Amino acid sequence: MVRERILFRDKYRMHKKVFRIFLILFLVIGIIGIIFVAGFTSRNSKNEFILENPLKNIVFVNTNALGEVDYDAVISQGVLEFNEDYILYLLVALGIQNLHKSYLGYGNPLLELHIDDEGWNVEITNKGVSIQKAFIDDEDLIIFISKQEAVKALLSSDINEFMKESVYNGNTRLEKVAGNIELGSKGYLDMYTQVTGEVIVE
């Protein structure tokens, strides 16, 4: 009788261990599934932008009957009329549509641009992009660029290549303010690497 009770208890413990293993396995698969779905959703929930180059009308006005463009006049007028449309077009070309709210609780992506003596800030939310002419204190990344360089970028045939060259030549500078984990959690990795050639290591 005693021997039978011991065997019964051992058998019960074995079932309990198997149940725990299946439960842990199920939880691990569930967590991996949730992470996969969250990653897939974040990749497909990029901000969509359909933009027209803000220099289009200026280029049209400064093009003669032979189709020749007076680039100096375009740059001068573009610098005078510089506004948030120029900034948005430039940032979309740099890849801000890949930025998103941090899944680690750091909030929305915040950029600051130092354009000549002016300060502009940009916040990316799930509703779109907010651009204001003011300096901020809690930015993730600062971009230093002149109006003339920004206008030249908008006039270039390949804005991505132009910006890489501009960073390489020191005409544009990107300064990380937030830590690498925060930058990575907001989607800055591709944008920063594309422009600077440097990889943000989390």
Confidence of residue 86 (pLDDT cuts 50, 70, 90): very high
How many CB atoms lie under 10 A from the CB of residue 16?
A: 10
Is it the case that residue 102 has pLDDT exceeding 50? Answer: yes
Contact status, residue 97 vs residue 48, Cβ threshold 8 Å: yes
pTM of the predicted model as reported, rounded to 2 decimal places = 0.72
Q: Taking residues 135-161, what's their average pLDDT?
A: 93
Burial of 91 (0-12, 13-18, 19+ CB in 10 A): buried
Q: Which CATH number fits domain 56-196: 3.40.720, 1.10.287, 1.20.120, 3.30.1050?
A: 3.30.1050
Q: What span, in angstroms and rounded, lies between the C-alpha atoms of 164 and 161?
A: 5
Q: What pLDDT score was predicted for residue 201?
A: 60
* Residue 136 bridge partners (DSSP): none
Q: Taking residues 123-147, what's their average pLDDT?
A: 92
Is it the case that residue 129 has pLDDT exceeding 50? Answer: yes
More confident residue, 3 or 78: 78
Task: Read off the pLDDT of residues 22-67 as tens digits, 9 standing for 90 and up.
Answer: 778 878 787 776 665 555 455 444 555 567 889 999 999 998 888 8
Confidence of residue 195 (pLDDT cuts 50, 70, 90): confident
Residue type, 4: E
Q: What pLDDT score was predicted for residue 40?
A: 47
* Residue 132 bridge partners (DSSP): 121
Q: What pLDDT score was predicted for residue 97?
A: 86
* In the block, residue with structure tokens 């990575």: 184
Q: Taking residues 100-119, what's their average pLDDT?
A: 92
